[in-house]
Amino acid sequence: MSDNRRGLLCLSLAGPDAAALIRRAEALIDLADLVELRLDSMQDPDIRPFCRRFATPVLATNRPTWEGGAFAGPEEERLALLTQAMSAGAAYVDIELRTEASRRDAFLAAARAAGKWALVSWHDFRATPDTAALTRIFARMRATAARSGKIVTTAENAADAARLLGLLAHSGPEFPLSAFAMGAPGGITRLSSLFLGGHIGYASADAALATAPGQMELRRLRDLCDLFEAKS
């Protein structure tokens, strides 16, 4: 995405059930363009009450333990819960690039047939790969049936953060990319990526409820975005 529009602000929520997520969203929903519901955090992953309560589009994520999430069950069950979330009203779904290829591709085809926006994601909780490796990951994403991609790494220094943000120069409306870094040096990328073509920026309800390391609170991220837009 190469224009000056800000990317989407996504409130990322984790909790035991839809009622808990509704309570956490009530005071913040108007600040968000999108709400991510982390199915892997839910004891009862029925999101229908949430989808009925709010008009804001829902992104369903069921992150497995092997990608830094909490879902430890079989893949058939994990993907079935994502499919159920689409039927329950989720407009967006997240599936990991590392998902076994035949399962991943079948899920992406089903999501596209259902008219849902499927994004394919990749996370590195230890480091930021070199430019060649990042470029290959992005190319693999674009070769799938996903509508957009998400690449999140861990930055150990400013060079790591800048290298990851450089990927955004290669994205566009035909395949938007969310790219930002965890770790203290990557903190600025959660804001700057939104103004450099990044598709989605993720934020928490409050610091204690963050769903990923370094995630900003939604109010703070929204205030920073508003300040930047007012000055530009």
pLDDT at 4 (0 to 100):
53
**DSSP labels, 145-164:** S-SEEEEEEE-SSHHHHHHH
pLDDT in tens, 50-82: 999 999 999 999 999 999 999 999 999 999 999
Catalytic residue, candidates 116, 150, 170, 231: 150
Nearest to 226 by CA among 195, 199, 205, 180: 195
Catalytic residue, candidates 123, 170, 199, 231: 123
Q: Show me where the domains of the chain are located.
A: 8-231
Residues 8-231, CATH architecture? Alpha-Beta Barrel (3.20)
N-to-C CA span, the chain: 18
206: left (phi over 0), alpha (psi -120 to 50) or beta: beta
CA distances from 157 to 91, 99, 163, 178 (A): 36, 29, 10, 20
Contact indicator for 143, 114 with CB cutoff of 8 Å: no
d(CA 70, CA 131) in angstroms, rounded, equals 29
When pLDDT is averaged across residues 220-232 and rounded to a whole number, the result is 90
Is residue 150 part of the annotated active site? The answer reads: yes
| 162 CB-near residues (< 8 Å, 6+ apart) | none
Look at residue 1 and tell me whether its pLDDT is greater than 50: no
Average pLDDT in the chain:
95
pLDDT at 80 (0 to 100):
98
Contact indicator for 205, 37 with CB cutoff of 8 Å: no
d(CA 7, CA 72) in angstroms, rounded, equals 32
pLDDT in tens, 170-181: 999 999 999 999
